[in-house]
Amino acid sequence: MGIDRVPVGSSARIEAIDDATARRELTRLGFEEGADVEVVSRIPFGPIVLQRRHRQVAIGRELARRVRVTTP
Partner 1 sequence: MTDCHSGPPAAGAAPSAATASQQQEGLVVLAGNPNVGKSAIFSGLSGTYAEVSNFPGTTVEAVTGRWNDRVLIDAPGTYGLGEHSEEERITTELIQRAATVVNVVDAAHLDRDLFLTLQLAESGVPMVVALNLVDEARRAGAEPNASELERALGVPVVPTVAVTGEGLEQLAEAIGRARAGNRSLNGSDDLARRRAADELYARIVPPTDRRRRVADWLSRASVTLHWGAPMIVLSLAAMYLLVGVGVAQHLVGFSEARLGHEIWEPFARNVAGAIGIGGPLREILVGEFGLLTMTVTYIVFLLAPLVAAFYFALALFEDSGFLPRIAALVDRLLSAVGLNGRAVIPIILGFGCVTMGTITTRLLATKREKTIATALLNFAIPCSAQLAVIAALLAGFGGGWVFGYAAIIFAMLIAAGTVLDRMLPGKSTPLLIELPPLRWPRPAAVLRKTVTKGYWFMREATPWFAAGALIVAVLQVTGGLEIWQRLLRPLMVNWLQLPAETARAIVMGLVRRDFGAAGLYEMGLTPAEALVALVVITLFVPCVASIMVMAKEHGARTAIRIWAGTWIVAFAVGGVLARILAWLGAAS
Contacts with partner 1 by CB under 8 A lie at 21-22, 24-30, 32-34, 40-41, 43-47, 49, 51, 53-63
What is d(CA 41, CA 8) in angstroms, rounded to the nearest whole number?
Answer: 6
Shortest gap between Cβ of 34 and partner 1 (angstroms)?
8
Strands 67-70 and 36-42: unpaired
Shortest gap between Cβ of 68 and partner 1 (angstroms)?
15
Shortest gap between Cβ of 52 and partner 1 (angstroms)?
8
